[in-house]
Amino acid sequence: MKVGVVGLGKLGLPLSLVLVKAGFGVHGVDVDETKVQQILNRERFFEPHVNEYLEKYGDNLTVSTDYSLLENCDVVTIITQTPSLPNGKFDLKYVTSALKQLHEVNPTCLVAISSNINIGSIDKLSTIHKRICYNPEFVKQGSIIHDFENPKYVVIGAYTKEDGEYLAKIWRKIHSKPIYVVKPIEAEIIKLCSNVSFALGITFANMIGELCEKYDVDSNRVLDIIYQDRRNYKAGLGFMGPCFPRDVNCFRAICLENSVGSGYKFAELLNDLNDYTVQRYVQKIKSYNRKSVGILGVAYKPNVPYIYDSQPLKIAEILIRSGYQVYIYDPLAEENAKQVLNDAHFCSSISECIDKAEVIFIGTANYSNIKSKKPIVNPWK
């Protein structure tokens, strides 16, 4: 298998060297003659292990500014820069230019885009070159070679199973970490949102740091214990019940009282986003332009009778105020819900609820597998 890399900068050169170490003869192209000469002259690079790998494996790395070097490659990775546009999105002009020039010399190779791109970019780029995947990098400057060789996982967004597996074979020569072959759009979302989740983690840690500072407490000790219980939640409705809403509001009040600005703003944002979740699903239900809605589950979570801060209950209240006929099935929570929802119709079975309604809303996840020919709004899928 002949492998090519377009873009020999901070990420592309380390990737090329990792591929060479794994036994591939690598052809690298960069439009910047200076970069090419630096590699050929074995100049000093600041990234750890780059010079070491160049010394050991550099003889199997061929570099040039000429795209014709790639004409016989089976797989080519494009890892050029994508600067930010004024609106925040990534500018794909360098990726697009590289792909067009590559296509001219090698229209049948498998192309792996590794640069940071926008959600939906691979669909657009596939109009230039058909055999294309998204293979994002998850590396950090200062440990790039280590991270390429020891990732948590590899993500390959491919249109066909064959192309995904072809690219996966290359990574299996480098490490034995998990490889996930998904749709290109899924890979784009995974890459972007992974980094957003890390940004959220940094923000959370700094917020805890500010709070601990007010109380002269070691934030590292606090965070280390908090991190012992990290829960992998799935998409659905917002936080409800007798604990989380009250705790967020208590946290907000304490931060306001102690001038912990980051904590107060964070709690406000959490509450705003939680309220937005209710409105989002109300609008989804209303978008069907039907006047009767069946709600399966109004408790704050499955298999309990309690309705503390229940979002399905809030959704039912909003729909009733908007003139909707609302039918509810939740045998455990029925008695508590009746104290709040005077104008709702409570059903004795799931089938009755579905039969009487024109749109079905899945309020609690234990009903998420319900099927019907009628429209179903299901937050849990």
Q: What is the pLDDT of residues 327-350, one digit of tens each?
A: 999 999 999 999 999 999 999 999
Banded model confidence at residue 28, pLDDT cuts 50, 70, 90: very high
**How many Cα atoms within 13 Å fall on the side-chain side of residue 293?**
35
CB neighbour list of residue 319: distance below 8 Å, 6 or more residues apart: 282, 285, 293, 326
The pLDDT assigned to 205 comes to 97
Question: In the numeric block, which tokens belong to residue 319?
Answer: 């729909």
Residue type present at position 332 = L
- How far does CA 107 lie from the centroid of its chain? 31
Give the number of other CB atoms < 10 A from CB of residue 179.
Answer: 18
Q: CA distances (Å), 56 to each of 45, 48, 144, 366, in order?
A: 15, 14, 17, 58
For residue 336, which of 305, 310, 366 has the smallest C-alpha distance?
Answer: 305
- How far does CA 143 lie from the centroid of its chain? 22
Banded model confidence at residue 64, pLDDT cuts 50, 70, 90: very high
With H, G, I as helix, E, B as strand and everything else as coil, classify residue 297.
coil
Domains with residue ranges and CATH for the chain: 3-184 (3.40.50.720), 233-381 (3.40.50.720)
Characterise 9 by phi-psi region: left (phi > 0), alpha (psi -120 to 50), beta (else). beta
The pLDDT assigned to 352 comes to 97
pLDDT tens digits for range 258-282: 999 999 999 999 999 999 999 999 9
Residue type present at position 176 = S
- How far does CA 7 lie from the centroid of its chain? 25
CB neighbour list of residue 66: distance below 8 Å, 6 or more residues apart: 29
CB neighbour list of residue 59: distance below 8 Å, 6 or more residues apart: none
Give the number of other CB atoms < 10 A from CB of residue 91.
Answer: 14
With H, G, I as helix, E, B as strand and everything else as coil, classify residue 237.
coil
DSSP assignment letter at 67:
G
Q: CA distances (Å), 227 to each of 222, 250, 265, in order?
A: 9, 21, 22
Share of the chain above pLDDT 70, in %: 100
Sheet of 61-64: strand order equals: 61-64, 26-29, 3-6, 75-78, 110-113, 132-134, 154-158, 179-182
With H, G, I as helix, E, B as strand and everything else as coil, classify residue 117.
coil
Banded model confidence at residue 183, pLDDT cuts 50, 70, 90: very high
Tally: H helices and E strands in the chain = 14, 13
pLDDT tens digits for range 68-105: 999 999 999 999 999 999 999 999 999 999 999 999 99
User: Rounded to an integer, what distance in angstroms lies between the CA atom of residue 136 and that of residue 214?
Assistant: 40
Banded model confidence at residue 46, pLDDT cuts 50, 70, 90: very high
With H, G, I as helix, E, B as strand and everything else as coil, classify residue 362.
strand
With H, G, I as helix, E, B as strand and everything else as coil, classify residue 37.
helix
**pTM, to two decimals:** 0.92
For strand 154-158 and strand 132-134, is the pairing parallel, antiparallel, or unpaired? antiparallel
Banded model confidence at residue 251, pLDDT cuts 50, 70, 90: very high
Banded model confidence at residue 353, pLDDT cuts 50, 70, 90: very high
Residue type present at position 210 = E
pLDDT averaged over the chain?
Answer: 97
CB 327 within 8 A of CB 298: no
Count the residues in the chain.
381
pLDDT tens digits for range 108-157: 999 999 999 999 999 999 999 999 999 999 999 999 999 999 999 999 99
Q: CA distances (Å), 14 to each of 47, 130, 132, 147, 179, in order?
A: 8, 27, 22, 10, 20
